[in-house]
Amino acid sequence: MNELVEKAATALGQAESVAIACHVNPDADALGATLGLSNFLRARGARTICSFPNEPFEPPRWLAVLPGADALVRPAEFPIEPALMVTCDVASMDRLGMLARSAARAQTLIWIDHHVSNEGLGTIPLIDPRASSTCEIVWRLVREIGGDVPVETATCLYAGIVTDTGRFQYEAVTPETLRLAAQLREYAFDHTRLVQALYEDNPAAYLRLLGTALDRITVEGDLIWTYLTQADLAAAGVHAAETDDLIDVVRTAREADVAAVLKQQRDGRFKVSVRSKGGHDVATVASTFGGGGHRLAAGYTSKHGLAETIHRLKAALRGEPAVEG
Ligand SMILES: [Mn+2]
């Protein structure tokens, strides 16, 4: 890993132009790593262009508190054959959507990620499943490149670390993570405004929708689960992206080790978020359904409808072999 960090630092330190991409439906770790690195390279005089593969291109509301978002372009405007490309927080090629073609054609591809299920792509893979966040790896990388780290980078990396660790509660949090957070907190960014944008910016309509989802809670053995349909979202007037925190409420139940939230997408399939308190490896479970993630936090997409998706999930949690298709 150290040799690869050096190699990536050399490539980035010399680059005049860098294209940076993160995964579809980006969270604050993905965009924090992307813009944190972009801000650092820009402060050194390089040009950067950043994107994520969402169409329509609707950045999350909290992006307003991350500096450097003017580097973001729609995926259609992203370079098709970049000399140097970086991906942030991308566990597999399909998470890059239409930006995957740029990754395939990039001369040098630095692949920065901390998912266990990572395919290890790129000409320079910087994969550390023990890292709390992709932002933590980006921090190591910018320290290796050297020079001043601007406050615009520190703000973005802090946002990614605080969110990807569940505000410093997940198992990947080490003394090193906390020391890094402390170092970043030394910078003069508006900490209160940042955390309010990340954690206290729900529309009241979301809170009502939360009521609907919580009312449907089902506990079956070691599994607690609930769901939201497209009709629920439409009736509440809430975007799917605004329901990301629902799983964090469901997982607090003491009755079950595993929590799952099924959210219907526009194409009718269900996006399944799964969390474990430690009794199950949900990354393995998710990978049997074509998804991935971390040991205690993972996800996948199912085309099988609500009842069948839950049936298959329960079978997988019991350790039964996955049903084909
Ligand atoms: Mn992450």
Task: Output the CA 30–ligand 1 centroid distance in Å.
Answer: 6
Predicted local confidence at residue 68, as pLDDT:
98
Task: Output the CA 201–ligand 1 centroid distance in Å.
Answer: 21
Q: What DSSP element (H or E) covers 268?
A: none
Q: Which of 266, 188, 179, 259 is nearest to 227 (CA)?
A: 259
Predicted local confidence at residue 323, as pLDDT:
60
Whether the bond between 26 and the residue before it is cis, its omega within 30 degrees of 0, is: no
* Residue written as token pair 């970086």: 86
Q: Average pLDDT per run of 10 along the chain, which is 325 residues long?
A: 94 97 96 98 98 93 96 98 97 94 97 84 92 96 97 98 94 93 97 96 94 97 97 94 91 96 96 96 95 92 96 93 59
Q: What DSSP element (H or E) covers 78?
A: none
Task: Output the CA 135–ligand 1 centroid distance in Å.
Answer: 8
Handedness of CA 194, 264, 133, 106 (dihedral sign): negative
Task: Output the CA 29–ligand 1 centroid distance in Å.
Answer: 5
Task: Output the CA 303–ligand 1 centroid distance in Å.
Answer: 25
Can you name the CATH fold of 204-317? Diaminopimelate Epimerase; Chain A, domain 1 (3.10.310)
Q: What DSSP element (H or E) covers 171?
A: none
Task: Output the CA 225–ligand 1 centroid distance in Å.
Answer: 23
Task: Output the CA 227–ligand 1 centroid distance in Å.
Answer: 24
Predicted local confidence at residue 108, as pLDDT:
97
Predicted local confidence at residue 178, as pLDDT:
97
Predicted local confidence at residue 241, as pLDDT:
80
Q: What are the extents of the domains in the chain?
A: 2-199, 204-317
Predicted local confidence at residue 307, as pLDDT:
96
| Spatial contact of 306 and 298, defined as CB atoms under 8 Å apart | no
Task: Output the CA 235–ligand 1 centroid distance in Å.
Answer: 31
Task: Output the CA 152–ligand 1 centroid distance in Å.
Answer: 19
Q: Which two tokens stand for residue 84?
A: 């140097």
For the domain spanning 2-199, the CATH number is 3.90.1640.10
Q: Beta strands 124-127 and 292-294: pairing type? A: unpaired
Predicted local confidence at residue 242, as pLDDT:
86
Predicted local confidence at residue 117, as pLDDT:
73
Predicted local confidence at residue 1, as pLDDT:
77
Task: Output the CA 238–ligand 1 centroid distance in Å.
Answer: 24
Task: Output the CA 129–ligand 1 centroid distance in Å.
Answer: 10
Predicted local confidence at residue 123, as pLDDT:
93
